[in-house]
């Protein structure tokens, strides 16, 4: 791969930094980190973790400070994840094993080579590492190899495998010399961020609050490109940028929406002209506010334009990563929580999971049709069409965030020819009819329905929630079903099929465009879970794409 000018500049910066570190020590192999603590109790911990008897480790405390590819990490924050600990070692080489001791706020990290471990320890001797704004301490372990019981360490091993897959996909440079293994040139301190499924505003302050958990954020520039909200964010240290990317890529800022797509930028420095709600240089509080339109510096714009590789589907979320992201400061998220419509993580929306839907077509509507339509935005638990007012219904969702998503997307849409109104109900639950009482099928319990889209944690359905649109996404199509079959099927719902396209690489999926959004809603209600034969039930959802 040809090295870009920015890559070359960044390589020079890294080499200069490491040369500076080398001058501060007699040699990398002989130097002892200034952050080493006395290894009190470490041999007992490792002895238990490695499953070896005490005789084997007797007297190993005499090896204190001797280089080893196993590192002992102490003073970890209580809530830290395996992902964050692994990220500490990634810039220096391959991480081959990890053991978390959360009860003791400690961990053991094994690197592929002793030289990589030496480089890591010496780097963090000069630059105190932080996790979640708390300093941590790294020292050589007394043990040369980390032998863990994988049956007791399954979670950490799963995270390590996922991270290794990500690291392999990024094709970092490998090697044993300092110049090659310290930090890969492709990893800049500047991150490029794209927000997908942005149904609520994401502000510069919200981004700063989220990304500051991984280190000091120096500069942020936000802008819109290709009709998507994007940002460039610069850390003071590329290690922080790598930690943030590893932990946040593919995560949701709010439940079921505002998904972060993160990649390294080829830029190594941002030139911010103004401090306002679109851009900020936290190192230059004296900058003017400008006219509120901080156009990108021409050099940055030109460099960014060359970055043609748009972020696609996310790498599978690393187990233990944050999802959705907690934003503890409600004030910073106030702009995004406009009108109280944003469901904040961990907080049900006012405890209210029940929606009141009115102005329904009482001649056509059924509990099943409401379940199918509202099920696009959450797992519907119960539906009750009111006995004395059959143009209204109560719908109970699985949680308050889902009820708010459904209200936000379906209020004002046309269903069976009538514009429906969706509001939060004063009821906390939908009551089932008393046993033996016939309510004419107006109430139905869907709590155990196999058609719930969001029951499985981490389901891809969370990343594909879109407003009602004329274009529908079809999936689970058997090989024997042709385009004409599907066109005819959807035309029979009473609408007009305007366009159709199979996915090029996967004919199990297709896009189909109806003439209007109302027709698409009708088709989804009628045909989601339709039996196409060969044990294939059609899956239908709204798409953000057009044909």
Give the whole-angstrom CA distance, residue 446 versus residue 148.
44
Q: What pLDDT sits at residue 153?
A: 65
Using 50, 70 and 90 to split pLDDT, how confident is the model at 150?
A: low
Average pLDDT over residues 480-505: 94
Give the whole-angstrom CA distance, residue 156 versus residue 146.
13
Average pLDDT over residues 155-160: 71
Give residue for tokens 């405390």: 61
Asked whether the beta carbons of 250 and 260 are under 8 A apart, the reply is yes
Encode pLDDT of 411-425 as tens digits: 999 999 999 999 999
* pLDDT: which is higher, 214 or 106: 106
Exposure pattern of 354-392 as b/e (b: 16+ CB <10 Å)?
A: bbbbeebeeeebebebbbbbbbbbbbbbbbbbbeeeebb
Examine the pLDDT at 67 and tell me if it is beyond 50.
yes
Pair of tokens at residue 385: 């069409």
Give residue for tokens 């020590």: 25
CA-nearest of 261, 290, 252, 256 to 273 is 290
Q: Provide the CATH number for the domain formed by 354-432+439-445 in this structure.
A: 3.30.70.330
Per mean pLDDT, which of 12-21, 259-268, 308-317 is the most reliable?
A: 259-268
Average pLDDT over residues 157-177: 52
Encode pLDDT of 351-399 as tens digits: 589 999 999 999 999 999 999 999 999 999 999 999 899 999 999 999 8
Examine the pLDDT at 179 and tell me if it is beyond 60.
no
Encode pLDDT of 94-138 as tens digits: 889 999 888 899 999 999 999 889 888 888 887 788 887 789 999
Is beta strand 190-196 parallel, antiparallel or unpaired with respect to 257-264? antiparallel
CA-nearest of 230, 234, 238, 206 to 92 is 238
Domain ranges of the chain: 70-162, 190-281, 354-432+439-445, 466-542
CA-nearest of 236, 189, 242 to 217 is 236
Q: What pLDDT sits at residue 19?
A: 45
> Three-class SS string for 347-380?
CCHHHCCEEEEECCCCCCCCHHHHHHHHCCCCCE
- The dihedral over CA atoms of 124, 130, 134, 138, expressed in degrees to the nearest 10, equals -40
Q: Which helix (H) or strand (E) holds 29?
A: none
DSSP H helices in 429-532 = 483-491, 517-527
Examine the pLDDT at 180 and tell me if it is beyond 70.
no
Encode pLDDT of 249-282 as tens digits: 888 887 777 889 999 998 888 889 998 889 999 8
Encode pLDDT of 193-210 as tens digits: 999 887 677 888 889 989
Assign a CATH topology to domain 190-281: Alpha-Beta Plaits (3.30.70)
Q: What pLDDT sits at residue 165?
A: 57
Q: What pLDDT sits at residue 163?
A: 63
Asked whether the beta carbons of 70 and 134 are under 8 A apart, the reply is no
Q: Do domains 190-281 and 466-542 have the same CATH topology?
A: yes
Per the CATH hierarchy, to which homologous superfamily does domain 70-162 belong? RRM (RNA recognition motif) domain (3.30.70.330)
The phi and psi torsions of 73 (rounded to 5 degrees) equal -110, 130
Looking at domain 466-542, does it have CATH number 3.30.70.330?
yes
Please measure the distance between the N-terminal and C-terminal CA atoms of the chain and give it in whole angstroms: 35
Q: What pLDDT sits at residue 440?
A: 86
Using 50, 70 and 90 to split pLDDT, how confident is the model at 291?
A: low
Average model confidence (pLDDT) across the chain: 75
Q: What pLDDT sits at residue 267?
A: 87
């Amino acid at each position: 791969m040809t090295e870009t000018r920015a890559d070359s500049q960044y390589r020079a910066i890294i080499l200069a930094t490491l040369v500076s570190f080398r001058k501060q020590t007699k040699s990398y192999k002989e130097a002892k980190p200034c952050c080493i603590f006395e290894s009190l109790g470490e041999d007992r911990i490792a002895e238990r973790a490695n499953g070896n008897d005490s005789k084997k480790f007797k007297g190993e405390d005499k090896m204190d400070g001797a280089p080893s590819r196993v590192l002992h990490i102490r003073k970890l924050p209580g809530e830290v994840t395996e992902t964050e600990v692994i990220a500490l070692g990634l810039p220096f080489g391959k991480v081959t094993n990890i053991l978390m001791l959360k009860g003791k706020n400690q961990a053991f990290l094994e690197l592929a080579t002793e030289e990589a471990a030496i480089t890591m320890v010496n780097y963090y001797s000069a630059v105190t590492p932080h996790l979640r704004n708390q300093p941590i301490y790294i020292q050589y372990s007394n043990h040369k190899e980390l032998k863990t019981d994988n049956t007791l360490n399954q979670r950490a091993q799963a995270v390590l495998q996922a991270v290794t897959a990500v690291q392999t996909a990024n094709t970092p440079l490998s090697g044993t010399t300092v110049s090659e293994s310290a930090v890969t040139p492709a990893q800049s301190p500047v991150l490029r961020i794209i927000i997908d499924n942005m149904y609520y505003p994401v502000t510069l302050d919200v981004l700063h609050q989220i990304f500051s958990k991984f280190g000091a954020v120096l500069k942020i520039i936000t802008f819109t490109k290709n009709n998507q909200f994007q940002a460039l964010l610069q850390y003071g240290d590329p290690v922080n940028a790598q930690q943030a990317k590893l932990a946040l890529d593919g995560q949701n800022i709010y439940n079921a929406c505002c998904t972060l797509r993160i990649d390294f930028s080829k830029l190594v420095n941002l030139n911010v002209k103004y401090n306002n709600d679109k851009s900020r240089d936290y190192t230059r509080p004296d900058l003017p506010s400008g006219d509120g339109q901080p156009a990108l510096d021409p050099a940055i714009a030109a460099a960014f334009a060359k970055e043609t590789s748009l972020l696609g589907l996310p790498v599978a979320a690393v187990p233990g990563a944050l999802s959705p992201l907690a934003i503890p400061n409600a004030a910073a998220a106030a702009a995004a929580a406009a009108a109280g419509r944003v469901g904040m993580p961990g907080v049900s929306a006012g405890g209210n999971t029940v929606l009141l839907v009115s102005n329904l077509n009482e001649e056509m509507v059924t509990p099943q049709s409401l379940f199918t339509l509202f099920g696009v935005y959450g797992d519907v638990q119960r539906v009750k069409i009111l006995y004395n007012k059959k143009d209204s219904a109560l719908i109970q969702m699985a949680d308050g965030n889902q009820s708010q998503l459904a209200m936000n997307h379906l209020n004002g849409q046309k269903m069976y020819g009538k514009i429906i109104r969706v509001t939060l109900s004063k009821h906390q639950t939908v009551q089932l009819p008393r046993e033996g009482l016939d309510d004419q099928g107006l109430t139905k319990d869907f709590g155990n329905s196999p058609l719930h889209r969001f029951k499985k944690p981490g389901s891809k359905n969370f990343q594909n929630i879109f407003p009602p649109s004329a274009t529908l996404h079809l999936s689970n199509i058997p090989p024997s079903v042709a385009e004409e079959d599907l066109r005819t099927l959807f035309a029979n719902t009473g609408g007009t099929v305007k366009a159709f396209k199979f996915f090029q690489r996967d004919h199990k999926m297709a896009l189909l465009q109806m003439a209007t959004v109302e027709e698409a809603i009708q088709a989804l209600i009628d045909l989601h879970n339709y039996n196409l034969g060969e044990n294939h039930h059609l899956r239908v959802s709204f798409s953000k794409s057009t044909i």
